[in-house]
Chains A and B, each alone.
Chain A
């Protein structure tokens, strides 16, 4: 399949729509993810409106969206908003952006392959994801509206009695399809990494982005099928009245709602790492590139990420401390959860070690990578309180949990995606983004983001439940109303700031400066080939001679980097790489 050059397809359909080229599929996933990110963001702002001004009509859009209640958000509408916000952001915004887009773009380019191992499967993966997105978006328009059982869809809330509408069934169908798409992608990623690395590209010469993406794919392969089985049972419960999860639906049945929680979190906890691992890998690479130093403790970072993968499979019970688990089981899950802080700390210290005394270049991608370091620190530290049973029992189902997982997911993963976009946009589209606008975008995202999520930690500590429709209905929560309004204003600024990003991308696509092959003076293989890369990526498959972050080597004269493809230090900067003689056979 990869033995020879294939002719580039010429028709519009085969080049743009049903393309099998991983770079085109990456762009398709990016567009899908950004569209859903916008939709999920709008839902978040509606949730925030209700929390800041409970029962007041939503300005401008309220009269169209909530005409039955004169523009105000009803309790059912509010439930639908937070359910769909969570689902969309996790499965349809950051998953397509990080795993779909950057998994597709980076893996073949960074390991020196012409494409994925299975290009047709890759194309199907995108179109199944698109279909699943259409089903989910369509569920807003069916009778009774979209799903309302929370993004975790615990039965009996997600059973046919509590949520009889078609929307909840479509939610489950859509997630099932999304799982199928993810699996197609994951099988492709792992096979590609195992089989199609360029000559010399050993595992410990792969960039950490590829490590992160590959490990995330391994977790997907192991745990997406489990949630798919649970969703299948949930769908059957709803359409065929099977009663797996809902007790008492028929005589003699003893359906078990907790069974769904177990199956959900067996997948759901690794899912957190599925999303954060690519971000970790990307950040590790970016910090090295923009500190002009090798990644500190490169092997330790790779091994720490791998051990987190292993540990993440045995800690899911920490989501269920309050459901009545056996106390012994709870303690075991707590101990295992706490073990994760060891490799996480290794990662974190290695990041600090990488930037320590580096010649830091504060390019926009670096700003966002540093942003990840900060917000992931916040997310990780707040996680300790939820991993320990004693504090979790108090904080469970409060706004503290919301603040915590938004620090890890909405902040770390989103910043990781944005860092990736700023870093690889020139490679993807052949144009440079405007750095001044990008810096503005960073500060107007970073500061409001902390103003949104940090106060949630305080509110949660003060006892404010999550998923609360009317915060002022509890006397002890009235004092938090100014905080709620502050969060909402910060969220609006955060939302508006994203327009800077949209403008920057649109402007650059048309009028951006043309990108050179290696604008960041980075060392990994994707910077060897022109921006954007030609069909099948490389004229000649490069031979890999060194690790992925060889910056500031004393034996390299005149410049502070040497590419993985360069067999020896060039005499002068910008020497074109010599094609390795023994890979001629590959090129023809």
Chain B
């Protein structure tokens, strides 16, 4: 306990994997954010299980397109891992490359989602058209808002790296952002499973 307490009061750089206030704070935020998705998913499960007229998702949604989108998001998680390890190694060029790739992956995901929304809305599905539409747009929209904030978050870091910050021994900014990005990715896999596949 004593070691834990002094770890943060002494001005030593933190090795990767060691807890810092920033990392602990992000983990706690992820717990709380997971439970906000939890609240929405409870609502979704409960409404769907009692509904007499729930459509088969694949009859409404374009599963192959969204499977591709899921793949894009998982790839962006891979590039995030590479960005974090490059940041640890102090390799600024690779950080810029992989962080850029992650941002691009996030933007690609959002674009495909926007196309999907446009397609569905012109087909008559909306927040108020049915409970299926209401839960679909609420869940995927809430997740999309997370991806959008993640893209903003990572872009800010990318500009910081371009300005010569955040890379090198003891700086955990990129690692912390990575936690958020992987979380958003993980939540998407749950949403893809429960809303699209099941």
Contact = CB atoms under 8 A, between A and B. Distances in A.
Given A195-B4, A196-B9, A225 B36 contact: yes
A372 interface: no
B35 A226 contact: yes
Contacts of B20: 195
A195 B8 contact: yes
Contact of B10 (A228, A242, A263, A586): A586
B128 A240 contact: yes
Contacts, number: 153
Nearest to B1: A202
A183 B28 CA distance: 10
Most buried by A among B19, B25, B37, B127: B25
A236 B134 CA distance: 9
Interface in A233-262: 233, 236, 240-244, 249-250, 252-256, 259, 262
B25 A2 contact: no
Contact of A203 (B1, B36, B128): B1
A90 interface: no
A187 B29 contact: yes
Interface stretch (A216-224, A330-338, A449-457, A516-524): A216-224
A331 B108 CA distance: 51
A399 interface: no
A481 B15 CA distance: 71
Contacts of B114: none
A233 B43 contact: yes
A531 interface: no
B47 A259 contact: yes
Given A3-B9, A256-B46, A585-B10, A241 B39 contact: no
Contacts of B28: 186-187, 190-191, 221
A118 B21 contact: yes
B130 A250 contact: yes
B39 A229 contact: yes
A75 interface: no
A197 interface: yes
Interface residues of A, number: 56
A298 to B, nearest CB: 17
B124 to A, nearest CB: 12
Nearest to B29: A187
Contact of B39 (A202, A263, A586): A263
A413 B36 CA distance: 27
Interface of B is mostly: helix
A329 interface: no
Nearest to A241: B128
Interface residues of B, number: 44
B11 A3 contact: yes
Interface string B129-146: 111001100100010000
Nearest to A190: B28
Interface string A551-588: 00000000000000000000000000000000001100
A447 interface: no
Interface string B8-48: 11110000000111001100110111111111101100110
B125 to A, nearest CB: 12
Interface string A1-15: 111100000000000
Most buried by B among A221, A223, A229: A229
A244 B43 contact: yes
Interface string B86-128: 0000000000000000000000000000000000000000011
Contacts of A342: none
Interface string A166-206: 00000000000000000100111011101111111111000
Contact of A243 (B42, B53, B134): B134
Contacts of A224: 32
Interface in B37-69: 37-40, 42-43, 46-47, 50-53
Given A242-B138, A256-B50, A263-B42, A198 B32 contact: no
Nearest to B11: A3
A230 to B, nearest CB: 6
Interface string A396-407: 000000000000
Given A200-B2, A222-B35, A541-B9, A244 B134 contact: yes
Given A201-B5, A244-B47, A187 B127 contact: no
B193 interface: no
Contacts of A225: 32-36, 38-39
A259 B28 CA distance: 27
Nearest to A4: B11
B1 to A, nearest CB: 5
A226 B38 contact: yes
A223 B42 CA distance: 13
Contacts of A94: none
A198 B5 contact: yes
Most buried by A among B11, B52, B134: B134
B130 A252 contact: yes
A325 interface: no
A228 B95 CA distance: 36
20 contacts: A3-B9, A4-B11, A117-B21, A117-B25, A183-B32, A195-B4, A195-B7, A196-B8, A199-B2, A199-B9, A225-B36, A225-B38, A225-B39, A226-B36, A230-B39, A233-B138, A244-B135, A252-B131, A259-B47, A262-B42
Closest 5 CB pairs of A and B: A229-B39, A225-B36, A242-B134, A241-B128, A3-B11
Interface of B: 1-2, 4-11, 19-21, 24-25, 28-29, 31-40, 42-43, 46-47, 50-53, 127-131, 134-135, 138, 142
Given A256-B47, A259-B43, A266-B39, 9 more contacts: A117-B24, A187-B29, A197-B1, A225-B38, A230-B39, A233-B43, A242-B138, A262-B42, A262-B46
